[in-house]
Amino acid sequence: MNARHDSLHIPAVIPAFDALRWRRDFPVFRQLVHGKPLVYLDNAASSQKPQAVIDAVSDYYQRYNSNVHRGVHHLSEQATAAYEGAREKLRRFINAASIKEIIFVRGTTEAINLVAQSYGRSHLQSGDEIILSEMEHHSNIVPWQLLREQTGVELKIIPINEAGELQPGAYEQLFSPRTRLVAVTHISNALGSVNPVKAMIAHAHQQRVPVLLDGAQAVPHLPVDVRDLDCDFYAFSSHKMFGPTGIGVLYAKEALLADMPPYQGGGEMIRTVRFSGSTWNVLPHKFEAGTPDIAGAIGLGAAVGYLENIGMASIRDYERGLLEYGTQQLQSLAGVKLVGTARHKAGVLSFVMDGIHPHDIGTIVDQQGVAIRTGHHCAMPVMEHFHISATARASLAFYNTREDIDALVQALGKAREVFR
């Protein structure tokens, strides 16, 4: 091989994921917490925002703040274009078939409540069954309990095993002729378990049962393709995917949405209003009563653009490596036990420490600049399963590094010291 060929040679090694480069896009990291550099490991609760998102929100308020879908004036036209442009970005990001299937809501919680109240109350009756799992966040339990009180539906729960995985075979056994809906999480927020949702959806569809996925912990961490999954409803939140708080998305197949009554009434969602009765706007507006969170949607659109630039597959692969490293480091500590050891896991490290309550761990590591979550993580049934009241939880994002894990490990040493 001569020198000329060598100069054309493409390196076999793909450049390493440069987390520190991305971290520089996040102004929150330009500060010290308790005199220490901020180590943010609470991403499953809420993620930080890149400058691009902050600027998009601020730009809307500074340059073209106005209502959408109403005015014929310049600013309103700009705002409408940006708001609907964000919807198209979301559609492309999760590969929905149409923008009619992208409903802007306040977050995952509202998305699930919308499905429970609109689809649930119009399609389910007393004695009908909904399958949930033991690892659900409260936001995918309580809306169905409210529906149970209103309609008499029954809830069937897929149990989890000691690793924090859905018990193999249990799901299929829960199906009966009365099963009308499956509502499960894509990734558990408390355990990090990634559920085999594609196979679960295929099984449900064989029985003509629709499936809702809680995607709050999935969308920020791996590529999600709703058409490949073939899910019927998919709910997620902006603030966990580096966008603003107060906004999220309900994806639903158009045929289902067309057959569902409005969730809330008001402006925007109507075509005509008379005291004798009103008619509804077309999709997706039928489900967006009132002035929406315009700035939030635009900010979320910017977050999607930011994530697409990095690449969701790269993010998934990088976080997988980081999770492996974190798992090894925590497992090497005496008296530390991981809660949630599923074979397929995303970046969540939930753990308990002998003799030290998670709340004390949280306060002590915070003093070292390390932010983690402690408590039941809005998943009390998971805590009950493991006979604990709380865990400490470090949850990862693409801007975290091995040094962040090392800082956590060191801070846990400090906790040991305090309670020695």
Name, in order, each residue with C-beta under 8 angstroms of 192's C-beta and a sequence gap of 6 or more.
164, 323, 340, 342, 345, 346, 347, 348, 349, 350, 395
Number of residues that bind another protein (CB under 8 A): 19
Smallest gap, in angstroms, from Cβ of residue 375 to another protein?
5
Position 145 contacts another protein (CB under 8 A): no
Cβ atoms of 225 and 94 closer than 8 Å: yes
Smallest gap, in angstroms, from Cβ of residue 40 to another protein?
17
- The C-alpha atoms of residue 96 and residue 261 are separated, in whole angstroms, by 21
If the CB atoms of residues 322 and 409 are measured against another protein, the closer one turns out to be: 409
Reading the block at residue 75, the tokens are 């600013």
If the CB atoms of residues 99 and 378 are measured against another protein, the closer one turns out to be: 378
Position 160 contacts another protein (CB under 8 A): no
Smallest gap, in angstroms, from Cβ of residue 32 to another protein?
14
Q: Do β-strands 391-395 and 348-353 pair in parallel, antiparallel, or remain unpaired? A: antiparallel
Nearest Cα neighbor of 120 from 229, 212, 199 is 212
Smallest gap, in angstroms, from Cβ of residue 78 to another protein?
42
Nearest Cα neighbor of 317 from 223, 198, 195, 185 is 223
Among 245, 270, 376, 406, binds another protein (CB under 8 A): 376
Cβ atoms of 180 and 148 closer than 8 Å: no
Cβ atoms of 351 and 388 closer than 8 Å: no
Reading the block at residue 418, the tokens are 């305090």
If the CB atoms of residues 301 and 358 are measured against another protein, the closer one turns out to be: 358
Position 34 contacts another protein (CB under 8 A): yes
- Active site residue: 99, 146, 371, 378, which one? 378
Smallest gap, in angstroms, from Cβ of residue 410 to another protein?
14
Cβ atoms of 130 and 183 closer than 8 Å: yes
If the CB atoms of residues 304 and 411 are measured against another protein, the closer one turns out to be: 411
Position 414 contacts another protein (CB under 8 A): yes
Name, in order, each residue with C-beta under 8 angstroms of 9's C-beta and a sequence gap of 6 or more.
none
Smallest gap, in angstroms, from Cβ of residue 341 to another protein?
21
231 is an active site residue? no
Position 418 contacts another protein (CB under 8 A): yes
Cβ atoms of 214 and 186 closer than 8 Å: yes
Among 296, 299, 375, 381, binds another protein (CB under 8 A): 375
Cβ atoms of 85 and 64 closer than 8 Å: no
- The C-alpha atoms of residue 242 and residue 49 are separated, in whole angstroms, by 5
If the CB atoms of residues 55 and 360 are measured against another protein, the closer one turns out to be: 360
If the CB atoms of residues 99 and 380 are measured against another protein, the closer one turns out to be: 380
Among 189, 193, 374, 395, binds another protein (CB under 8 A): 374
Position 139 contacts another protein (CB under 8 A): no
Residues 388-407 that bind another protein (CB under 8 A): 389-390
Smallest gap, in angstroms, from Cβ of residue 356 to another protein?
8
DSSP string, 136-190: --GGGTHHHHHHHHHH--EEEEE-B-TTSSBPTTHHHHH--TTEEEEEEESB-TT
Position 21 contacts another protein (CB under 8 A): no
DSSP string, 340-406: ---SSB-SEEEEEETTB-HHHHHHHHHHTTEE-EEE-TT-HHHHHHTT-S-EEEEE--TT--HHHHH
* Binding region for another protein (CB under 8 A) out of 21-29, 139-147, 248-256, 375-383: 375-383
Reading the block at residue 117, the tokens are 């109240």
Smallest gap, in angstroms, from Cβ of residue 376 to another protein?
5
DSSP state of 72: -
If the CB atoms of residues 249 and 407 are measured against another protein, the closer one turns out to be: 407
If the CB atoms of residues 42 and 232 are measured against another protein, the closer one turns out to be: 42
Residues 325-364 that bind another protein (CB under 8 A): 356-360, 363-364
- Catalytically active residues, by annotation: 378
Which residues would be at the binding site for another protein (CB under 8 A)? 34, 356-360, 363-364, 367, 374-376, 380, 383, 389-390, 414, 418-419
